[in-house]
Amino acid sequence: MATDEARRARIVEAASELFTAQGFGATSVDMVAKRAGVNPRAVGRLVGDRHDLLVAVLAERHESVVADLVGQAAGAPDRTPPLSALIEAAHRLQEAPESSWDSLELEVLARARDDEAMRAIGTERIAQRSANVKAISESSRASGGLDPELSDNAVVHLSMALSLGLAMLDPVATHRPTPLEWDAMIARIGAAVAPSELLLQPAYEVSERWRVRVDIPDRPGGMARIIRALAALHVYTVSLGVVGHGPGTRTIDLALIAPPHVSAEVILAAAESAGEHAHITVGSPDAGRDLPARMLDAATFLVKNPEAAPAVAAGVVEADNVEVIGATEGVDDRADVLRLQWTADRHVLLQRNWAPFAGAEQARASALLRLSSAIARISGEDDGAGWIDPVRDSTVWIRLARPEDAQAVAAMHERCSERSRYQRYFSLTEWRDIQLRRLAGGHRGATLVAMSRDGQIVALGNVFPEAPDDARTAEIALIVEDAHQGTGVGTALLRRMLQVAPRMGFTHVVAHVLADNAGMKHLLETTGLHWATTVAEGVASMTAALEGEPAVEVP
């Protein structure tokens, strides 16, 4: 025979199912009794009237996941930084508003204006959650994270209005922010209500290392904003560096130490609140070390171990994978891949999953590879990466291109006439994207530059596969600044390009030249190679087999 305790449990469960399915107003005591399999008098004796049923259901069947989360944080203020707890709670709210205020609770609050019993129930529910938020507000104030001029009651009121508003909007909202956009806004609000001079009490042990990459506004105060957003979470910034630039932005890299209960998602939200395109990964103990010291240590190691350059370069930029490949193998540069020339016939491919590579990282890794090549040359292992060639009335230094050559190469192109640029690219507008992307080995093949005695880049040459998977035929092309045409610079550069091509395994070369570009065709013909020429749509395609050392005489 069922006990009163078992009957009461069935009654409350039946009431919960009916209230949730059709609402409080459409549910009667008789309906609850019928579903529970008892008579209406038993409902009154064991639970009470309809309002008592509602109280029992809310107490036993409807709990708030978010309220519990906030309550746990309020009960352990020395464990979780207040803003971190609020961002986590707000994330849950936006992700599933019903986890904080379900439809039955919302009905109670909607009826509270005209129903005294409902008002009493709603007041009690609000009071419970308000107490938790107030505890977090007080904890934040105590640690220095909340402006002392702000009222705890105001903070609580705003939090309650926000959570209720989300739950009310959920069934009808058509435009929702992404979780990261929402979290970033909450993080910005949290940082905004902190004191103007944010200096928190060191109330939390910090032990978790993180590394963050983010684009910040390239304006005064942009750096301060990201530091403040992270500091509001009791996160320490142990190192910071600028690794790239974009239109109106700077890309910065930060090494952080955070309390263990501040999650990666919360840190990412703080970074997005002050910038954009944020990325995060677990940090390494070395990430906080002085970067010049790390580079000097790497250089010192390479003096005795130049063959370890690819691994050392990968360590400096914290790549996930490193591979040494032939100059015609693998993939070209992309956001997650950094391709660098090591020697004329060997490239280093670095890959990283957590964030795109930045320009400064490309320059650092390339510098270490060049250092290893220089050390090898001193030891008598010439890798052919640089030549001093005589030209008319002077000399020219020809070498592999580097990432930092980008501006000088762009300046050289600007000094060239439109005619010279058109003869090289068959276009007046595409040279910038094509050449600046190919510098320093970002593509299969090799890029060479020629420098005058005063250090200016005056010519550029490319040797790369005719087709992406073609390891047999190399396309060659070069451009010489107008002021240095006719001096032998082009001849010297072409000679070195034809020396580099067979080192990469090519057996043939092809040059696509405008049919009326007599100067370039003559230059190719003086190499001593046997050229076969076909002409189509005003372009002469000249192909030759590489047969030993090209016979090029420097005037």
- Tens digits of per-residue pLDDT, 4-24? 888 888 888 888 888 888 888
pTM to 2 decimals? Answer: 0.71
Beta-ladder partners of 159: none
* Mean of pLDDT over the chain: 85
Distance of CA 515 to the CA centre of its chain: 46
Q: Is 117 exposed, middle or buried (0-12, 13-18, 19+ CB in 10 A)?
A: middle
Residue 527 tokens, joined = 């190499």
CA distance 166 to 7: 36
Taking a C-beta distance cutoff of 8 angstroms, is the pair 236, 307 a contact? no
- In the prediction, which pLDDT does 436 show? 59
Residue 411 or residue 384, greater confidence: 411
Taking a C-beta distance cutoff of 8 angstroms, is the pair 531, 543 a contact? yes
CA distance 254 to 287: 8
Query: Percent of the chain, pLDDT > 70?
Result: 91
Most confident of 72-81, 398-407, 509-518: 509-518
Taking a C-beta distance cutoff of 8 angstroms, is the pair 252, 240 a contact? yes
Most confident of 321-335, 342-356, 489-503: 489-503
Structurally, what CATH architecture does the domain formed by 208-286 represent?
Answer: 2-Layer Sandwich (3.30)
Position 420 confidence tier, pLDDT thresholds 50, 70, 90 = very high
Residues 6+ apart with CB under 8 A from 119: 112, 113
Q: Give the CA distances from residue 355 to residues 213, 361, 388, in Å, rounded to whole numbers and listed in that order.
A: 7, 12, 39
- In the prediction, which pLDDT does 380 show? 57
CB burial string 12-37: b at 16+ within 10 A, e below: bbbbbbbbbeeebeebebeebbebbe
Where do the structural domains in the chain lie, given as residue ranges?
4-60, 65-192, 208-286, 291-378, 387-545
Taking a C-beta distance cutoff of 8 angstroms, is the pair 326, 347 a contact? yes
DSSP string, 320-351: SEEEEEETTSS---BTTEEEEESSSSEEEEEE
pLDDT greater than 80 at residue 58: no
pLDDT tens column, 337-353: 999 888 878 889 999 99
Query: Percent of the chain, pLDDT > 90?
Result: 30
pLDDT tens column, 147-176: 888 888 888 898 888 888 888 888 888 888
Beta-ladder partners of 512: 541
Q: Give the CA distances from residue 453 to residues 135, 266, 458, in Å, rounded to whole numbers and listed in that order.
A: 71, 54, 10
Of the candidates 426, 543, 403, 423, which has an alpha carbon nearest to the alpha carbon of residue 480?
423
3 state SS of 315: helix
Note the helical H segments in 379-459: 406-415, 418-425, 431-438
pLDDT greater than 80 at residue 378: no
Averaged pLDDT, 291-311: 86
pLDDT greater than 60 at residue 458: yes
Averaged pLDDT, 264-276: 94
Q: Is 335 exposed, middle or buried (0-12, 13-18, 19+ CB in 10 A)?
A: exposed
- In the prediction, which pLDDT does 385 show? 53
CA distance 231 to 229: 6
pLDDT greater than 60 at residue 132: yes
CATH of domain 4-60: 1.10.10.60
pLDDT tens column, 497-554: 999 999 888 999 999 999 999 999 999 999 989 999 999 999 999 999 997 544 444 3
Rounded to the nearest 10 degrees, how much is the dihedral formed by the CA atoms of 279, 282, 286, 292?
Answer: 0
Q: Give the CA distances from residue 280 to residues 179, 209, 349, 374, 451, in Å, rounded to whole numbers and listed in that order.
A: 16, 11, 22, 35, 41
CATH of domain 387-545: 3.40.630.30
pLDDT greater than 90 at residue 268: yes
CA distance 271 to 210: 12
- In the prediction, which pLDDT does 74 show? 65
pLDDT greater than 90 at residue 211: yes
Averaged pLDDT, 212-229: 93
Averaged pLDDT, 474-491: 94
- In the prediction, which pLDDT does 213 show? 95
Of the candidates 507, 544, 502, 501, which has an alpha carbon nearest to the alpha carbon of residue 526?
544
Q: Report, in this order, helix, strand and coil percent for the chain, each rounded to 5.
A: 50, 20, 30
* Beta pairing, strands 473-480 & 508-514: parallel
pLDDT greater than 50 at residue 288: yes
Of the candidates 132, 62, 143, 148, which has an alpha carbon nearest to the alpha carbon of residue 102?
62
CB burial string 287-300: b at 16+ within 10 A, e below: bbeeeeeebeebee
Averaged pLDDT, 466-473: 86
pLDDT greater than 70 at residue 62: no
Sheet holding 208-217, edge to edge: 236-246, 249-258, 208-217, 276-282
Averaged pLDDT, 297-309: 86
Q: Give the CA distances from residue 358 to residues 213, 305, 324, 338, 371, in Å, rounded to whole numbers and listed in that order.
A: 10, 26, 20, 9, 20
CB burial string 432-470: b at 16+ within 10 A, e below: eeebbebbbbbbbbbbbbbbbeeeebbbbbbbbbbeeeb
- In the prediction, which pLDDT does 399 show? 87
